Amino acid sequence: MMVLPAGAARAMAGAGETHDWYAFLRALTGIAPVVQPTPEMVALLGEACERTLIPASYFGKVRLSPRFHSALAHSLCHWSMDGLTPDLLEQGADAVLQQHAALAELDDDALREEWTRKTRELASLWRAWQAALTEAGLMEPIRGWQILLDALPARAALPLVMAGFTELTAMDCAALRILDARTTIALVALHDDAHPDAYRPTARLAAILRAADMPLQEILIPAAPVAPPQMTILDTPNPLYEVETVAREILKLQQEGVALDEIALLVRQPDALAEMLAVIFARYEIPLQGEVGLPLERSWRIRWLMDGIRLLMGVGVGADWLHWLEHPAHRLDYATLRPLHRLRRCQSARSWLDAALTRAADPNLHRLLQRLHEWRQGLPASLPQVARRLILHLGAPTQESDLAEWLQLVDAYARQWRRRSAPEATNLLERLVSGARYTQRLGTSGVRLLPMEHADLVETQVAFALQVLEGTLPRRCPDDPFLREGERNALNAALGAQGVCLPTRADAQAAEPMLFQRILHAARERLYFSYPRTQGGDSDALPSFYLEALKARLGDAVRTRFYSLEAITPAPEDALHPYDQSLREPTPYAEPPPILRHPDHRARRADLERPFSVTELETLLRCPFEHFARYVLRLRPLARELSLREVGSLTHATLCRAMRQRPRSHDPQEWVQRLVEHLQALLAERAPDLPDWQVEVLRALAQRLARRFGWREPRYLQQFGLEPHACEWAFGSATDDEDERAIAEPLHNQRQPRRVVYRLGNGREIALCGVIDRIDLSPQRDVALVLDYKLGSAPARSDFLDGRAVQGLLYVHAVRSLLPNAQVVLAYDRLKAGKRVRFVPNETQLVQRFNRGNWEDNGCVVLLTQGQWRQAENRLRHLLTQAIDGLRHATIAPTPGDHCRRCAFADLCRAAQR
Ligand code: SF4
């Protein structure tokens, strides 16, 4: 019977009768050897740490860390197999102090004291864990092995051939010693007298077996004189290119008649490459077989479950619920979820679910929300039950490896869920999941994905060793965090006579050259080594020095193919797949018939008969590309956080309401108080959908602007002798723009807004629409003030004269159509600056009325002669005529300038000036 190290037998499935070593012992005795801890065992160690350790303990800082519990539980299992026990650890620690302190590098009193503290604490944690395992009815590792060893002599065993072993623990040796008395055992190991350093693990294995009182009879089998495989090195620019090159080479091999399951991919860290391999090989339709261990968080099902648990525990906000419910796993379409889109997304997860229950009209959705509502009642104590219900809802079998691992974790910590609050439980579950892994099974046929450690056990016709880099092959083996290298050496010296044999970093490092030798024998005909010259971003990567040694030894027998980054398309002989062929010969482009460029079509698209909002015309004049993105493509930047838009619309609404219900007096105190009251009322009625802290920031900002306004407004009213006539006066049509204000007061208009027409320079007319913030009138209605509230700046005099004050001039045009006999003054109230800038026709009466008050800053009055005013209007007419003409001809050239700073489409136009 052939027995292989743990994990290797699965990779050889179908290649004759082979057994995994531990599965073989289990089959023989009916007792499963404890090789590594289950999540339940780790959870019990976590509880023991919590009970036993205090913050001042040696491991006090990490006593609550699930990663620490998991690492320690794994170490305790390994130490048990290496022959160590809590008593031996304490005994060995004392012996180390007395006889081997130098070996353990315990050079001074502080280090010696630390060593004693650490080993005593480890021993006491170990004992506490053993007691907890026994109490919970679980198999304690040392006892488990003892029972297994006791059961072995009674079993009959077939002759064994053991292959691929590079290390054996004390327990493995004890089992072999018992089996050795009952049957014949042949251990096949690699050796070469000419290169003993390349095969050090074999020598160590022989030494361990001899030390375990197993007499060895060594038989040297000379290597069969077979021709070495043809070797090729693929030197590629980056990891993606490397995998693509390997895939293309496999396609060529397939074309030559090599069966896919005769090709092996040897990888040191399969999880790092798994995703890229899956994507690239799927592109080239190359099936993969084997399995790969991945972090649990890589599974979409686990991410979906974790999102659901988080929300049920009350962690998150409404937007997270919506996002989760939109997942295809729920099988809910957009129309079904639409009523829930109107709920406040920033409210807490808990209140959002309550509100959603009252809104859901669809019976399926209502049933689901009802169930979720019920499930959350018993959390976190009922987490194991809720986890199973969610999996049932997902419709996936619980035997799937990722779900099984996740459920094991949830079940293992059942006691913790009962003790912890919902946020604490969520936090613990997240930490547990972040450190856990699962095995993802690939297909059952196709190219074999194998760990390098099993390289020569599955001999194939062709093999590719990927990522052959310094640091990967040979790997820099890390030191053990609990017992460092020197400490292990010292413990081995102190306890060797009692059968303890802890593996060291040096042993692991010495095994690396043999791994490379094994890779050299992984393929019968062709062996490829590949590596990327860069790793993750731009950092350089070095090829393994083993490759240099190989080239030096074999010379021209090892060919190197260099791939440059510039060679984006594969060479003609490599382009076998339609995807690569399309890269080499792009689909010929045929100019489509000029339907879209026909002037009639463009005019239809421009739709010059519709009303143009003043804001749209302002955008069109500023930059035709911005206009195209905003008004033709109708793109909008995502608005998730507090922005100036909310500040502006809340302040506008507050000022509108305050002017409509203004105090009779001109007392600024009273004005400020009323403004603040209106602001609070508006926020209470229609708070924007933002997190609470952002609503508070919004309140503070808007309040500051409103206060500033309250101190000025009564003075202006007295000074100008005007009365507010209309706030939010619409013309043309009810809405001003696509971007309606988030918080808006009702329009002033009782009836349909009046039509306003604007004549262009070429005699054509366009209809205008817009909403004017405020219009004030004199008692005789012979003077009108058009007022625009602004968070930013007002146009400069030069802009006005150039016709660039588009919005203001068009508002004046609209008001003139309403009040043809009135003299119109245009004003911008700069809310942040606390300043009202007015553009006043230079006529004595108007100049006196709108002159600068002695409490005002300079620059708040811009006087304009009739000619200057006419000049501004004519220039605007000219600009608009050109812009509308450009619109008709679909001109969308970006026009960069200062305005790019506020434009959301810079990534699209790529011409932004910033
Ligand atoms: S970034 Fe500037 S040039 Fe580009 S679309 Fe916006 S305004 Fe136009």
Q: What is the pLDDT of residues 827-859, one digit of tens each?
A: 999 999 999 999 999 999 999 999 999 889 888
Tell how far the Cα of 906 is from the centroid of ligand 1, in angstroms: 5
Quick check: 751 pLDDT over 80?
A: yes
Provide the CA 291 distance to its chain's centre, in angstroms: 25
Tell how far the Cα of 895 is from the centroid of ligand 1, in angstroms: 6
pLDDT above 90 covers a percentage of the chain that reads 73
Q: What is the pLDDT of residue 76?
A: 97
Cα–Cα distance between 467 and 528 in angstroms, integer? 11
Q: What is the pLDDT of residue 860?
A: 94
Spatial CA neighbour of 106 closest among 494, 455, 440: 494
pLDDT (tens digit per residue) in 143-182: 999 999 999 887 777 889 998 898 999 999 999 999 988 8
* Position in ligand 1 atom list of the atom nearest CA 913: 2
Q: What is the CA radius of gyration of the chain?
A: 40
Q: What is the pLDDT of residue 495?
A: 95
Q: What is the pLDDT of residue 607?
A: 86
Q: What is the DSSP letter of 471?
A: B
Spatial CA neighbour of 514 closest among 196, 168, 169: 196
Q: Which residues make Cβ contacts (< 8 Å) with residue 600, sequence separation at least 6?
A: none
* Position in ligand 1 atom list of the atom nearest CA 626: 5
Q: At what angle do helices 141-151 and 109-135 cross, to 10 degrees?
A: 60
pLDDT above 70 covers a percentage of the chain that reads 97
If you search the block for the tokens 């090709």, which residue do you land on?
Answer: 263
End-to-end CA distance of the chain: 74
Query: Contact, 834 vs 860, CB < 8 A?
Result: no
At 145, the amino acid letter reads: W
Candidate of 619, 628, 900 to mutate for ligand 1, largest count of ligand atoms within 8 Å of Cβ: 900
Tell how far the Cα of 366 is from the centroid of ligand 1, in angstroms: 46
Tell how far the Cα of 892 is from the centroid of ligand 1, in angstroms: 11
If you search the block for the tokens 């030069």, which residue do you land on?
Answer: 798
Q: What is the pLDDT of residue 13?
A: 54
Tell how far the Cα of 889 is from the centroid of ligand 1, in angstroms: 19
Give the pLDDT band of residue 67 (cuts 50, 70, 90): very high
Tell how far the Cα of 645 is from the centroid of ligand 1, in angstroms: 19
Q: Give, using CA atoms, the residue closest to atom 2 of ligand 1.
A: 900
Q: What is the pLDDT of residue 211?
A: 87
Q: What is the pLDDT of residue 235?
A: 96
For residue 909 and ligand 1, the question of a CB distance below 6 A is answered with yes
Q: What is the pLDDT of residue 465?
A: 97
Q: Give, using CA atoms, the residue closest to atom 7 of ligand 1.
A: 900
For residue 894 and ligand 1, the question of a CB distance below 6 A is answered with yes
* Position in ligand 1 atom list of the atom nearest CA 900: 2
Tell how far the Cα of 59 is from the centroid of ligand 1, in angstroms: 58
Tokens representing residue 56 in the block? 């001042």
Candidate of 622, 628, 899 to mutate for ligand 1, largest count of ligand atoms within 8 Å of Cβ: 899
* Position in ligand 1 atom list of the atom nearest CA 896: 3
Quick check: 91 pLDDT over 60?
A: yes
Q: What is the pLDDT of residue 606?
A: 82
Quick check: 16 pLDDT over 70?
A: no
Q: Which residues make Cβ contacts (< 8 Å) with residue 431, sequence separation at least 6?
A: 65, 66, 67
Tell me the CB-side half-sphere exposure of residue 332, using CA atoms within 13 A: 26
- Calculate the dihedral angle through the C-alpha atoms of 171, 173, 174, 177, rounding to the nearest 10 degrees: 160
539-540 and 611-613: which strand pairing?
unpaired
pLDDT (tens digit per residue) in 378-426: 999 999 999 999 999 998 887 889 999 999 999 999 999 999 999 999 9
Quick check: 14 pLDDT over 70?
A: no
* Mean pLDDT, rounded, of the chain: 92
Task: Tell me how many degrees the CA angle 500-504-508 measures, rounded to the nearest 5.
Answer: 130
For residue 911 and ligand 1, the question of a CB distance below 6 A is answered with yes
pLDDT (tens digit per residue) in 697-709: 999 999 999 999 9
263-267 and 835-841: which strand pairing?
unpaired
SS (H, E, C) 307-367: HHHHHHCCCCEHHHHHHHHCCHHHCCCHHHHHHHHCCCCCCEHHHHHHHHHHHCCCHHHHH
Residue 728 gets the label, from left (phi > 0), alpha (psi -120 to 50) or beta, of left
Tell how far the Cα of 896 is from the centroid of ligand 1, in angstroms: 5
Cα–Cα distance between 659 and 772 in angstroms, integer? 14
Q: At what angle do helices 300-312 and 363-377 cross, to 10 degrees?
A: 70
Q: What is the pLDDT of residue 843?
A: 93
* Position in ligand 1 atom list of the atom nearest CA 910: 4
Q: What is the pLDDT of residue 49?
A: 96
pLDDT (tens digit per residue) in 293-339: 999 999 999 999 999 999 999 999 999 999 999 999 999 999 999 99
Length of the chain: 914
DSSP string, 562-622: E--TT--SPPGGG--SHHHHHHHSPPPP-PPPTTTT-HHHHHHHHTTTSEEEHHHHHHHHH
Query: Contact, 381 vs 346, CB < 8 A?
Result: no
Task: Tell me how many degrees the CA angle 794-800-801 measures, rounded to the nearest 5.
Answer: 155
Average pLDDT over residues 431-443: 92
* Position in ligand 1 atom list of the atom nearest CA 897: 2
- Count of other CB atoms within 10 angstroms of residue 69: 27
For residue 309 and ligand 1, the question of a CB distance below 6 A is answered with no
Upstream peptide bond of 380 is cis (omega within 30 degrees of 0): yes
pLDDT (tens digit per residue) in 594-630: 777 788 888 787 888 889 999 999 999 999 999 999 9
Q: Which residues make Cβ contacts (< 8 Å) with residue 479, sequence separation at least 6?
A: 485, 505
For residue 628 and ligand 1, the question of a CB distance below 6 A is answered with no
Tell how far the Cα of 821 is from the centroid of ligand 1, in angstroms: 40
Tell how far the Cα of 486 is from the centroid of ligand 1, in angstroms: 65
* Position in ligand 1 atom list of the atom nearest CA 624: 8
Candidate of 628, 891, 895 to mutate for ligand 1, largest count of ligand atoms within 8 Å of Cβ: 895
For residue 900 and ligand 1, the question of a CB distance below 6 A is answered with yes
pLDDT (tens digit per residue) in 414-430: 999 999 999 999 999 99
Upstream peptide bond of 228 is cis (omega within 30 degrees of 0): no
Give the pLDDT band of residue 348 (cuts 50, 70, 90): very high
Quick check: 93 pLDDT over 80?
A: yes
Judge residue 894's burial from the number of C-beta atoms within 10 Å of its C-beta, 0-12 exposed, 13-18 middle, 19 or more buried. Answer: buried
pLDDT (tens digit per residue) in 789-807: 999 999 999 999 999 999 9
Q: Catalogue all structural domains in the chain, each as residue range(s) with its CATH number.
A: 2-34+148-211 (no CATH), 39-138 (no CATH), 231-287+445-580 (3.40.50.300), 296-441 (1.10.486), 644-888 (3.90.320)
Cα–Cα distance between 86 and 128 in angstroms, integer? 10
Q: Which helix (H) or strand (E) holds 230?
A: strand 230-236
Q: What is the pLDDT of residue 848?
A: 94
Candidate of 622, 892, 909, 910 to mutate for ligand 1, largest count of ligand atoms within 8 Å of Cβ: 909
Tell me the CB-side half-sphere exposure of residue 229, using CA atoms within 13 A: 22
Q: What is the pLDDT of residue 739?
A: 58
Q: Give, using CA atoms, the residue closest to atom 3 of ligand 1.
A: 896
Buried-exposed string 528-540: b where 16+ CB fall within 10 A, e elsewhere: bbbbbbebeeeee
Candidate of 905, 908, 910 to mutate for ligand 1, largest count of ligand atoms within 8 Å of Cβ: 905
